[in-house]
Amino acid sequence: MTRGVLVCIEGLDRTGKTTQTTSLLEKLDKDGVDATLIKFPERTTPIGRIINTYLTDTAFELSDQSAHLLFSANRWELAEKIRSLLEDGKTVVLDRYVYSGVAYSSAKGLPFDWCLSPDIGLPKPDIVLFMKFKQEENVTREGFGEERYEVAEFQQKVKTQFEKFQNEDNWRTIYVDNKSIEEVGEMIWTEYKVTASRRREALQYFSKL
């Protein structure tokens, strides 16, 4: 049996990731593809509950290193599920993943390689769709500023860190400026179809960049 496709949607806060992952899931369903959505952080697991408190309560203090390792541990909580869904031929769509983990923590000043190291060994996406504004439109979007990381200056630093992944083979940048939800959805669908139609190699795992 051919394994499923591991798709990852990434981007800064309020770039429309969640809207687009929902829309991708609907398209996959219509196309007869059995797909599962996993959103990181997955806030309902034991570690995810701690992360949720950290994100929503500024009085809850953690060192940057501890917070980073919890986000990574949260991915390891789901790693076996992701691997086995893929091996069973299911497609898995990730809303944020290792790339957010590394970008947000290295934007705080932690070394990039150190940030990647606890994620080494996790399943690597076949395709990463990085949603990006050329301009910083996301900071003016509704709801921005409610959680810990939603500060314009910090978002700029995160963007710089995300861009360090842009030469990876699986990376596709989706420019969302002045595009409707449907247009962005079409760009994502086209990229997905190209990846899904290719012959699938064995699942890859994160290693050093």
Residues near ligand 2DT (CB under 6 A) are 13, 40-41, 55, 71, 96, 100-101, 104, 149
Q: What is the 3-state secondary structure (H, E, C) of 122-164?
A: CECCCEEEEEECCCCHHHHCCCCCCCCCCCHHHHHHHHHHHHH
Q: By C-beta, is 101 or 123 nearer to ligand 2DT?
A: 101
Q: How many CB atoms lie within 10 A of CB 2?
A: 8
Report DSSP state, residue 94: E
Q: By C-beta, is 161 or 195 nearer to ligand 2DT?
A: 161
Whole-number minimum distance, CB 97 to ligand 2DT, in Å? Answer: 7
Q: By C-beta, is 12 or 127 nearer to ligand 2DT?
A: 12
Q: By C-beta, is 87 or 146 nearer to ligand 2DT?
A: 146
Whole-number minimum distance, CB 187 to ligand 2DT, in Å? Answer: 20
Lookup result for tokens 């994100």: 55
Residue 26: φ, ψ to 5°: -65, -45
Whole-number minimum distance, CB 178 to ligand 2DT, in Å? Answer: 23
Q: By C-beta, is 118 or 196 nearer to ligand 2DT?
A: 118
Whole-number minimum distance, CB 15 to ligand 2DT, in Å? Answer: 10
Q: Which residues contact 96 (CB under 8 A, 6 or more apart)?
A: 8, 9, 10, 17, 39, 40, 41
CA 161, CA 105: separation in Å to the nearest integer? 9
Whole-number minimum distance, CB 66 to ligand 2DT, in Å? Answer: 12
